A and B are shown apart, each in its own frame.
Chain A
Amino acid sequence: MEVRPDVVDILSGFALFADMSTPELENIVQTFGEVYFAEGERVVRQGLTATGFYVVLDGGANIVVGGKERGNLRPGDFFGEISCLLGEPPTADVVATKPLRCLVLAPHALEEFLVANPHVMYRVLQGEARKLRTTTKWLS
């Protein structure tokens, strides 16, 4: 699904896409698709393969593991990258807590996208580092 023109403005405010020029953002916008989920709808399903890499544009969602809420997602957050990178089913459900608009990239397209956009890759890595830190704290 093609994305709306206002998405370029929204992305320009996200840390994930900081420092990118308007043509670069327009390219990103056309590389991704736009998806919408109603409140309560599952975006990613634990155990089901081949979902995608999502960036939250608007709305909110919960991360749910085995029926327990483990975190939440807001505009600018991204999810689904671990499943895409490892080629494995997601280990959590992501459930919309209010009407949710996201950009989505197919799993097989993530590698090419990150390699072509090293600044985005660096910020995704920062995100992974934060998740690892949180998990380490939680385990200790």
Chain B
Amino acid sequence: MAELTERPFPPGAYPLVVVGSGPGALQLTYTLRGMGIDHAVISQDDAPGGMFRKWPIFQRMLSWTKPFAEQKRGSREYERYDWNSMLGEEQDTRAIMPTVMDGTSYFPSRPEMEQGLATFAQRTGLQVRHGCRWEATRRLEGGDLVLETSDGEYRAPTIVFAVGVSQPWRPPVLDLEGVEQYGDLRPAETYRDRRVFIVGKQNSGFEIASGLLPWARQIVLASPSPAQLSVLTHSLVGVRARYVQPYEDYALAGGVVILDASIEKVERDRDVFHVTTKSAHEDHPRHFVADDVIAATGFTCPLLDLPEIGVATFGQSRLPAQTPFWRSVSIDGVYFAGTIMQGSQGLRKHGIPSNSGAVQGYRYNARVLARHLAETRFGKPRQRRAIKPDEVIPLLLAEASRGPELWHQRSYLARVVSLDRAEGIFDEGILPLAHFVDDSDGPDAVAITLESNGQDPPYPTAYIRRRGQTLHERSLQPADILLEYDGPAYARELAAALEPVLDQALTRVTP
């Protein structure tokens, strides 16, 4: 019992509780603390970053950190090149990842990522009640929520769940003893000279196949639709380049089979599996004999009983449907952080999703969420910076050129400047684009984003909102491969687009 009382955040009533201790939870609690928001943090894991202990074979992140870049390490602009560090305010809490990586890869290893998170938590003095497992949830009359945990009950009007999307999912056809699952594989050498059938052609399937290339006798990768490649989609949609080697093996007829077919049947006969597939392009089924069958068929959110208390979910991952500020669309007081934030989908322009499923995306969401919670749940007004009229266009173009939030969260997070007729011109900071475009009651304002269309280099797009009028959208062209958008041609183009709304604001701020 002595140990229980020494741990932070004992069970009880709090204004806000954060569940989790991954990067999303750490970034959120750090930012909340900086705003003076009283809250508790609980986690079932024994140390920060529990999910990073569950990767097979390569044990590396898919997000990179470049130790050397044009921008000074530790600067805000450098965050574009360092996808994995947490965002601190003090210099020794910034750009930690390049200081803990050994230089053999720019994808951090699992131990390096864990060390980076632990270093951030230690240097910032973040407190988490580790070893405290959330087990059930109740909603009280009046709206408060109660978390039943292994340590006792926590009651709060606002709870943020940052519990990852890490629960392996497999379709019923693979629900068979002996079928293995991504995250739970044997050591690579135990697949020596074996026939391996992998179901799923996304990163997890290709990651396993890449790791088994030196060991397996035959590798089959199968799922109904063709594999996409990130180098062709120009986004994080598709298989990342570092796991494309099995594709080349297949293309050069080296022995790997990549099959567009549904899995009709999997049967086990003593030591082997018989797999039957059916392709839309062939009129007969195919039969494979495999020594191992591995499900790389995706993950779901470990939401426990949240759907039963009314949290709406969607998609195979059972992601909670969320507002632009990451609140459950169906239950007040329930918010999400970390990789679950991808359930707030934004505008998905050109079909490209946000990067909210990855550290480099959700670390910025966490800061926006913290500010939103402070404003809406704790009555702390948002800090806005008054700016002069001639600062507007340089600020917007500088953000489009070097703002890490816009670079990592294309067409999802925006830098907003309000041009209010009564109050003047304010830098409103970073906001979700979906909120901005649908906030018809908001003041006249402009939001700048960086937009990808899957073909060209990213280009700035401005959204100009005027009361009582349809939102106006203006993309600045041509796209520049170096993302240098603060030259005079772009300034002239943006100035022309902003002229009507900026002129109105000018008449209010100029005596």
Contact = CB atoms under 8 A, between A and B. Distances in A.
A47 interface: yes
Nearest to A109: B351
Interface string B21-47: 000000000000000000000000000
Nearest to B472: A47
Contacts, number: 114
Interface string B306-331: 00000010111101010100000110
Interface in A2-25: 2-5, 21-24
A89 B473 contact: yes
Interface stretch (A99-107, A118-126, A130-138): A99-107
A38 B454 contact: no
B437 interface: yes
A94 to B, nearest CB: 13
Contacts of A2: 298, 315-317
B96 interface: no
Interface string B256-299: 00001110000000000000001110000000000000000010
What is the predominant secondary structure among interface residues of chain B facing chain A? loop
B224 A106 contact: no
Which of B261, B345, B349, B351 has the largest count of A CB atoms less than 10 A from its CB? B351
B351 A47 contact: no
Interface residues of A, number: 39
Q: Chain B interface residue count: which class? A: 35 or more
A97 interface: no
A36 B314 contact: yes
Interface string A16-43: 0000011110110111011111100110
29 contacts: A1-B316, A1-B319, A1-B342, A2-B315, A2-B316, A4-B314, A4-B315, A5-B172, A21-B280, A23-B224, A23-B280, A26-B224, A26-B262, A27-B225, A27-B262, A27-B280, A30-B223, A30-B224, A30-B225, A33-B315, A34-B314, A34-B315, A48-B347, A48-B473, A50-B350, A52-B348, A52-B351, A101-B314, A106-B352
Interface of A: 1-5, 21-24, 26-27, 29-31, 33-38, 41-42, 45-52, 89, 99, 101, 104-109
